[in-house]
Amino acid sequence: MSYERDLFGGRGRDTPPRAPPSYNQRPPTGGLPPRPQQQYPQQPQQPMRSSRQNGPPGGRWSLSPVKSPDNSFTFRNLVAVSTQEFQPSRDGSDLLLMVNGMFVVSAKPIDQFQPGTIGLSEPQRSWMGIALTDQLQVEIYDPFSQGGQAYLGSMDLEVGFAAKSKTPQTPYDQDDLAKEVSKVFQNQVFAPGQRFLMDLRSVPLNITVKTVELMDLNEKASGSPPASDPRARGILTPHTQMNFFKDARTPINIKASSRRPAANAIIAPDFKFEDMGIGGLDAEFSTIFRRAFASRIFPPGLVEKLGIQHVKGMLLFGPPGTGKTLIARQIGKMLNAREPKVINGPEVLNKYVGQSEENIRKLFADAEKEYKEKGDESGLHIIIFDELDAVCKQRGSGAGGGTGVGDSVVNQLLSKLDGVDQLNNILLIGMTNRKDMIDDALLRPGRLEVHMEISLPDEHGRQQILNIHTTKMRTNGVMDSDVDLAELAKQTKNFSGAEIGGLVKSATSFAFNRHVKVGTMAGVSDDVTNMKVNRADFEHALEEVKPAFGVSEEELGNCLRGGILHYSPYIQDILQEGSLFVSQVRNVGSTPVFSVCLHGAPKSGKTALAAKIAIDSGYPFVKLISPEDMVGMSEGQKVAQLTKVFTDAYKSTLSAIVVDSLEIILEWVPIGPRFSNPIFQTLVTLLRKQPPQGRQLLILATTSDRSIMQQLGIWQDFSAEIAVPTVASYQELEYVMRESRVFSGAEIESAIREIQEITGARDVGVGIKRVLLAIETAKQDADKASRFAGVMGRAISQR
């Protein structure tokens, strides 16, 4: 009685397979099928026709299918033929036959088998799609007829229980399964879609071939990509790597391998970071690989021994234009097979009730289905979520128009990432410019646990980006030799990757402009074929394209409109002391944040000196916070403005912030007295706050009333103070008048003598800005000396 009947519709008797008869000895397992080349001189034996039957012309037989003779054929994936039609090979190996020009099987000729028939098991008949009443065309198969790639480099197999009566709970080790399959079925030809049975410890297993990779043993190359075409067939060798997946329809337990990597390699073996066309992000990519992908390329069994789960999500955040979306766009190049799903945050939202949540569930549907089938051997499903802050705002904040849709979307995403039925085969990559807006529950470990800041590139990174953007120019010879990319990298401080791309496009536009016909708007000159982008084009582009997180040159330039006049030796001392503070902050690891308050009489030039120190620092980020920029703002708006400037400063490695006229920003009024407590608390917090790791910040503040700052208690939060003097003596006043080049020597003497007569004061004690204003007023009068003396006399009297 055949065991096949028990497996496929029989009476369900748990009858062990009979011992194979003597004529069905297991063939040797040490060799490979001979290949018809010099290194494989032995060729497959052709069938020898008996004296009673010469066989049809052309070596093709028409045979009728019958059931396998016994279980020894069924569980070794063999077909039975008659020795009267097929002579056994001399070395005892099985014959390779092709059925109906499509299916290759291993055949064992036996004497007792009826001529004109071929014995096939139920899995074999199911695979071929034939019935016992069909007539089959059979011929000898040469495995090398389609080229040298006749061997199986690797094979993906789906395994499950073949009988419902035998479903042990003991997990099956993948390495043990591979050894057994290699031992029992060595030298047989397998193709995608093929089904066969194997008896392992008296438990019948049903195995289906999913994909194969073919290879040539004489070539060092890895071979062909995975194929699921039934015509992609190859010979099983002891070196074939076998990857086993669970058949979801049976309760079989497949234990992950501790020696072999995961079946679906997620990283292409020849992958290189430079192939992605992204510059300045080497360290970030290394961290992304270590945190999100490294655990997935090691054997699943080893990861299981560690008792850890893979990282399920990461958040890329940083300023606009630094490459977050570019990373997501290019990350598919890192992957060996499956393309990531990319979705923009606003696309999730839908006006219909429940549809937004359904859109989230659809993103994870494929991953859930595969995880149920293959478990930890499932391939990695990557979901890239751009503009994450659009749908994952803090719950309760009113996102979604007050309908609660935003909260429901966040809840749905949380449950999919780390809910009761959690998955281990997903990686969600979220991107945002506003990390502070995202719900805290989404940022904890187990969800978006890797927070990667994609910050502004450093000088080396900027040169990499410039190289990428100018590759075609240099390759095609349209970039002039005078363009120095290393010099450009130094000049583009605080440029983002997108801004560097804009710089290159701007330089190209200047090059185009040189080849427009004079007097026309769109006429192209004849010498356009000789066009080259040169150094001057990039210099013009640098004047046109400015970084969003750069130096506020125009605002600071307005503060230095009259320059710095060294009317007193203290002015040089102030600049030298400021230079020392700049150097102190520049040294990484010394002082992350350093605040200095310049105090002095009104109009004494405090703002100009602070601006001079900030500009001379050479820091890539310099920003001025002035009361003039806050006119008409409410308290909340002023708080938001202060916070934004400091937040932007933290995005640069070196930053300087000038906070002008503290008492005005704090809305100090002596009547009462009164000041804005929210602005005060914000400013104190920002003065005390330490920048992120690797960021250095210099704060230069100015005030005209030191006593007010002491009363408020903010004075103690400054690291240092600098007193700014007034124009104290008449000698200093004379120096300023002479440097203005408005007065003659006689006019200077006359003006000073007249001022002394008007005021009777021995010293001046007036701020430099008031002196310069008096000079500008005197320029409009014919009697400049008297006009200047009158204005200065009133200023000295009112001090």
- Contacts of 250-253 spanning 24+ positions with Cβ under 8 A: 250/160, 250/161, 250/167, 250/206, 251/161, 251/167, 251/169, 252/159, 252/160, 252/161, 252/167, 252/172, 252/205, 253/169, 253/170, 253/171, 253/172
Answer for the pair 551, 719: CB distance below 8 angstroms, yes or no: no
Looking at 412, 431, 453, which one is the last position of a domain?
453
Rounded CA gap, 197 and 2, in Å? 14
The pLDDT tens digits for 609-635 are: 999 999 998 888 889 999 988 988 999
Answer for the pair 28, 187: CB distance below 8 angstroms, yes or no: no
Neighbouring CB atoms inside 10 A of 387's CB total: 20
Answer for the pair 262, 299: CB distance below 8 angstroms, yes or no: yes
Closest CA to 249 of 158, 171, 170, 181: 158
Position 679 scores a pLDDT of: 94
- List the CATH number of the domain containing 366: 3.40.50.300
Helix (H), strand (E), coil (C) string for 669-708: ECCCCECCHHHHHHHHHHHHCCCCCCCEEEEEEEECCHHH
- List the CATH number of the domain containing 52: 3.10.330.10
Element (H, E) at 421: none
Position 571 scores a pLDDT of: 92
If asked whether residues 376 and 488 sit together in one domain, one would say: no
Residue 749, domain extent:
730-798
The structure tokens listed for 467 are 């190289």
Residue 24 banded pLDDT, cuts 50, 70, 90 = very low
In a domain, 261, yes or no: no
- List the CATH number of the domain containing 525: 1.10.8.60
If asked whether residues 533 and 586 sit together in one domain, one would say: no
Rounded CA gap, 243 and 98, in Å? 26
Burial label, 38 (beta-carbon count in 10 A; 0-12, 13-18, 19+): exposed
If asked whether residues 464 and 491 sit together in one domain, one would say: yes
If asked whether residues 566 and 709 sit together in one domain, one would say: yes
- Beta strand pairing call for 621-625 and 654-659: parallel
The pLDDT tens digits for 676-704 are: 999 999 999 999 999 988 889 999 999 99
Residue 266 banded pLDDT, cuts 50, 70, 90 = low
In a domain, 524, yes or no: yes
- Residue 208: strand, helix, or coil: strand
* Predicted confidence (pLDDT) at residue 16 exceeds the cutoff of 80: no
If asked whether residues 355 and 482 sit together in one domain, one would say: no
Cα dihedral 121, 124, 129, 130 sign: negative
If asked whether residues 336 and 283 sit together in one domain, one would say: yes
Rounded CA gap, 379 and 474, in Å? 40
The structure tokens listed for 277 are 């066309």
Rounded CA gap, 594 and 695, in Å? 12
Looking at 724, 759, 778, which one is the last position of a domain?
724
In a domain, 422, yes or no: yes
Instruction: Output the CA–CA distances (angstroms, integers) from residue 103 to 96, 106, 336, in the order listed.
Output: 10, 10, 30
In a domain, 219, yes or no: yes
Q: Which residue has the higher pLDDT, 338 or 461?
A: 461
If asked whether residues 79 and 217 sit together in one domain, one would say: yes
Buried b (16+ CB within 10 A) or exposed e, 559-593: beeeebbebbeebeebbeebeebbeebbeeeeebb
Position 164 scores a pLDDT of: 84
Of 20-34, 370-384, 519-533, the range with the lowest mean pLDDT is: 20-34
If asked whether residues 287 and 235 sit together in one domain, one would say: no
Rounded CA gap, 500 and 480, in Å? 18
Looking at 391, 425, 453, which one is the last position of a domain?
453
If asked whether residues 107 and 210 sit together in one domain, one would say: yes
Q: Number of folded domains in the chain? A: 5
In a domain, 787, yes or no: yes
Position 520 scores a pLDDT of: 63
* Predicted confidence (pLDDT) at residue 526 exceeds the cutoff of 70: no
Position 727 scores a pLDDT of: 92
Residue 245 banded pLDDT, cuts 50, 70, 90 = confident
Answer for the pair 469, 277: CB distance below 8 angstroms, yes or no: no
In a domain, 405, yes or no: yes
Any idea what the Cα angle at residue 664 is, between residues 663 and 670, rounded to 5°?
65
* Predicted confidence (pLDDT) at residue 29 exceeds the cutoff of 50: no
If asked whether residues 207 and 237 sit together in one domain, one would say: yes
If asked whether residues 522 and 380 sit together in one domain, one would say: no
In a domain, 268, yes or no: no
The structure tokens listed for 781 are 């009068």
Position 692 scores a pLDDT of: 87
Of 23-32, 77-86, 512-521, the range with the lowest mean pLDDT is: 23-32
Residue 673 banded pLDDT, cuts 50, 70, 90 = confident
The pLDDT tens digits for 83-135 are: 888 888 877 788 899 999 999 999 999 988 889 999 999 999 999 999 999 99
Cα dihedral 222, 224, 228, 234 sign: negative
If asked whether residues 96 and 227 sit together in one domain, one would say: yes
In a domain, 264, yes or no: no
* Predicted confidence (pLDDT) at residue 597 exceeds the cutoff of 60: yes
